[in-house]
Chains A and B, each alone.
Chain A
Amino acid sequence: MAPCNCHNPYLPYPMVIRQVTDEVEDRSIKTYDLAFRESADAEAFRWQPGQFCELSLLGVGEAPFGIASSPAEPELLRFSVKKAGVVTAALHRLKAGDQIGLRGPLGNAFPLELMRAKNVLIIGGGFAFTTLRALIVSLLDQRADYGDITVIYGARTPGLLMYRSDLDAWQSRSDMRMIQTIDQPYVGWEGQVGLVPAVLEQTAPSPSATIAIVCGPPIMIRFTMPVLARLGFENQQIYTSLENRMKCGIGKCGRCNIGHKYVCLDGPVFSMAELSALPPEY
Chain B
Amino acid sequence: MSQLPAEVRACIAEWLAQGEIDLFIGYEASSLPFQATPAFIRQPEEVDRLIWDATCENNLVSFLKRYRGQKVGIMLKGCDARSLVSLMREGQWIRERLRIVAAACPGVLDVRRMVELAHTEIENLPGQLLPQGWQHGETLTPLADIRHVTCALCLQHTPTDYDLLVGDPPPEEHPDSFAAVREIEALSSDERWQFFTQELSKCNLCYTCRNTCPMCYCNVCFVDQDAPRWFTATTAPPDIHFYQVMRTFHLAGRCAGCYACTRVCPQGVNLWLLLDKLRADVWELYQDDAGTNPDAKPPLTTYREEDDNSFVL
Contacts and interface: CB of A to CB of B under 8 A. Distances in A.
A102 B207 CA distance: 33
Counting chain A residues whose Cβ lies within 8 A of the other chain, the interface size class is under 10
Interface residues of B, number: 4
A86 to B, nearest CB: 5
Interface in A71-121: 84-86, 89
Contacts of A61: 229
Contacts of B226: 85-86
A178 B297 CA distance: 65
Contacts of B227: 84-86, 89
B227 to A, nearest CB: 5
B120 to A, nearest CB: 37
Interface in A107-164: none
Contacts of A86: 226-229
Interface in B116-169: none
Contacts of A89: 227
A86 B228 CA distance: 6
A213 to B, nearest CB: 30
A85 B228 CA distance: 8
Nearest to A84: B227
Interface string B207-233: 000000000000000000011110000
B273 to A, nearest CB: 34
B230 to A, nearest CB: 11
A59 to B, nearest CB: 10
Nearest to A88: B227
Contacts of B229: 61, 86
Contacts of A85: 226-227
Interface string B35-66: 00000000000000000000000000000000
A85 B226 CA distance: 7
A73 B228 CA distance: 36
A61 B229 CA distance: 11
A85 B227 CA distance: 6
A84 B228 CA distance: 11
Contacts of A84: 227
Interface string A50-85: 000000000001000000000000000000000011
Nearest to B225: A86
A89 B227 CA distance: 9
A15 B229 CA distance: 25
A57 to B, nearest CB: 13
A86 B227 CA distance: 5
A89 B226 CA distance: 12
Nearest to B228: A86
Interface in B222-254: 226-229
The list of the 7 closest CB pairs from A to B, nearest first, reads A85-B227, A86-B229, A86-B227, A85-B226, A86-B226, A86-B228, A89-B227
Interface of B: 226-229
Given A61-B229, A86-B226, A86-B229, 6 more contacts: A84-B227, A85-B226, A85-B227, A86-B227, A86-B228, A89-B227
9 contacts: A61-B229, A84-B227, A85-B226, A85-B227, A86-B226, A86-B227, A86-B228, A86-B229, A89-B227
